[in-house]
Amino acid sequence: MDRTILHCDCNGFYASVECVHNPKLKEVPMAVCGSPDNRHGIILAKNELAKRQGVLTAETIWQAKQKCPDLTLVPPHREEYLRYSKLVNQIYLEYTDLVEPFGIDESWLDVTGSRRLFGDGRTIANALRERVRRETGLTISVGVSFNKIFAKLGSDYKKPDATTVISRENFQQLLYPLPVDQLLYVGDAVNKTLKKFSIRTIGDLAGCNKAQLSGVLGKLGENIWEYANGLDSSPVRRFDDQPEVKSIGNHITFRRNLTGTEDFKVGILALADSVAMRLRKHGLKCRGVQIIIKDPQLKSISRQTQLENPTDLAKELGQQALSLLSSCWSPEKPIRMLGLTAIQLTEEDCGFQISLFAPQQASDHQKQQELEQTIDKIRQKYGVNSVQQAVILKNDIGVDRSSKSNYSRKE
């Protein structure tokens, strides 16, 4: 018997949350965007009125304004987006515990075992749409199918606030005419490769030779061929059984280019503070540090190093990152963006090895650990900006807590 898999996608999520808080925004073309002053001037989400005027997610503000001169721009409120994401997932969890978030605004649900209680897939999908609309003010589009990949295609098939059922009987009719890059995991690079072999639609992909595709794209080629043919059998994870974090990082595109050692220090220390706080939140330490540097011409390099001892301390991460930066980048060369990632993560209770000739090292580490844990408690009570390093205060490079964070997870 086939599974019943749902993919639920919140429509224009960031923009929809803003419209719930300010209903007047529903009456005008609006978009959530990053700050142009901080050089994050791109469209993050838009409402339906802006979409009808051709505004696209990820385009620059000036491009959007050319299409829609009266576009209303709203800054992002990430804490609210996280809160609404939790509210929506809690509704899903009333129907099944097999709920697997896919980003902040999408989730897969396996409702196979819930059909006797709540009805078939379409019935459950419609019930979820109605409840999310009524209880949160948001709308969702839901794809219903017998596997995760087709359910995802279903939620994309018709928007907003729609249910699309993709069955064994209709999937070729509905999906095979679609451009191949609408299939999950077919990105720009893969799409370009497929076009060289005249594979332009999902149907073209399904009908090509699997062995030849594997020879060109390796394991990915086999996977996407199976996806196109409806052979995906990957399970939906339980909500409390998500993949473990394998790296924690943060990056900042600065308000102006960094120039000189002092600028570099401010940028690195702000990143190290943020990453270390997240490490402690997850009960993890890292055995390695990676930095990414982007210059004003958007050329990037990355470097990484292993640590003598695992750490979750901002001071130690910052020292290692600054050392790494100075070894590969001249202070005279400007920096547009910096990223710092804690890699090779391990459990918090691992040991700390010191030299017999440096007993002070363990003492300093313990004192710093107590200090940063105390700072965590203060921030928990009074907010993340309540305690900051003096060197970061009153900077003019755009360092703040809204800098983009990244969590990479093991699959």
Q: Give catalytic residues, as residue numbers.
A: 106
Retrieve residue 355's tokens: 């030299």
Residue the block writes with tokens 């419609």:
126
Beta strand 140-145 pairing with 163-165: parallel
Reduced to 3 states, what is the DSSP secondary structure of residue 233?
coil
Q: What angle do CA 85, 89, 93 make, to 5 degrees?
A: 170
Residue 366 parent element (H or E): helix 359-382
C-alpha 365/C-alpha 313 separation (Å) is 9
Residue 342 parent element (H or E): strand 335-347
Could you tell me the end-to-end alpha-carbon distance of the chain, in angstroms, rounded to an integer? 27
- Inter-axis angle of helices 78-92 and 121-136, nearest 10: 140
Residue the block writes with tokens 């073209």:
204
Task: Check: CB of residue 39 under 8 Å from CB of residue 254.
Answer: yes
